[in-house]
Every structure is written in C-alpha cells, then in structure tokens.
Structure 1
Amino acid sequence: MDSLHSTMNQHVKGKHLSFEERVIIQLRLKDGCSLRAIARELNCSPSTISYYIIFFFY
C-alpha cells in the first residue's frame, strides 16, 4: 500500500482522477470513509469525490 500513498500527493487541480485514485475512492467508500477523509487522502476537493460518485454510481 506504500506505493499507492506515494502517488496521492501528486493530484493536480483541473485534471481527471487517475485510475489509482478512482480505485482508492471505491475502496475507501467500501470501508465507510467519509468524502472529506477521502479528499484529504487524495489531496483534492470533497466536491471532486462527490462528482465522481454521482457520475460513476448513478
């Protein structure tokens, strides 16, 4: 899991989420993490996480 964490601080504003970031969102949601906690981990806005969830799950 260390290799996943090394990429987390590299998120650039205005760019699409990477495949790895999308996988982490899915795993964290499954584990019951909040949107804000996931956003902090990925160094992005909670609204980015929300938009991803709405777009891919509804």
Structure 2
Amino acid sequence: MDHSYSNTKPHQKGKHLKLNDRTTIQELHSKGYSNRAIARELNCSPSTVGYELKRGTVSVYRYKAVEGQSTYELHRSKSLRLSQPTTDLSSQIYPIL
C-alpha cells in the first residue's frame, strides 16, 4: 500500500501473488475498488487482478482469497515446468561417427 504507516511490501512485477496479496484483492474488491485501483495498491498489472478475481470467484461476484490460493496451487502442481525431469546429457553415450 502507498501509506507511510503500512508495513506490507509492495508486490514485485513478474512475481507470483502471495496469500496476503490475494487477501488485499479480496478486501479492496469487496469495497468496490476497480481492478486498476487494486493493481496500483499491489504494484502489479490490472490484468493480474482480473485473472485473480476470475480464478478465485466461487459464486457470482464473490471473490475469496483462499479459493484463489488453492486454485493457484492446484494449477502450479500440474505445471509442466515442475513435473518435467531434468535430463543429464553427460551420462548418455553417443557413438562417434
């Protein structure tokens, strides 16, 4: 947040949202803030806020930070980047031609 008394660190662009970021989105969204206003508070893109609201909406127009976090963790666990084993090419033997 932009307040001098705030003890929260601003979100860095290009980083994943944390649960406290999602809680901030939930609070500000329930107060009627726009995606752009929420993004300014978190220092992220307005589309990030929109995607997060879409991800964590359980019923019509009700966003819940915990639902967004659990959906994020589910998608992250199915990510190809995490599930692909690394291949060590130095252990493979290739014929010399």
For the criterion TM > 0.5, the same-fold answer is yes
What residue number does 2:57 align with?
Answer: 57
Larger of the two Rg values belongs to structure: 2
Structure 1 residue runs of 4+, over 6 Å off?
none
What residue number does 2:8 align with?
Answer: 7
Q: Is 2:38–2:49's contact at 8 Å kept on the other side of the alignment?
A: yes
TM-score, with structure 1 as normaliser: 0.79
Higher strand share: 2
Structure 1 residues without counterparts, runs of 5 or longer: none
Structure 2 residues without counterparts, runs of 5 or longer: 59-97
Does 1:37 pair with 2:37? Answer: yes
* Greater RCO structure (CA 8 Å; 6+ sep): 1
Q: Is 1:39–1:49's contact at 8 Å kept on the other side of the alignment?
A: yes
TM-score, with structure 2 as normaliser: 0.50
Aligned length: 54
Higher helix share: 1
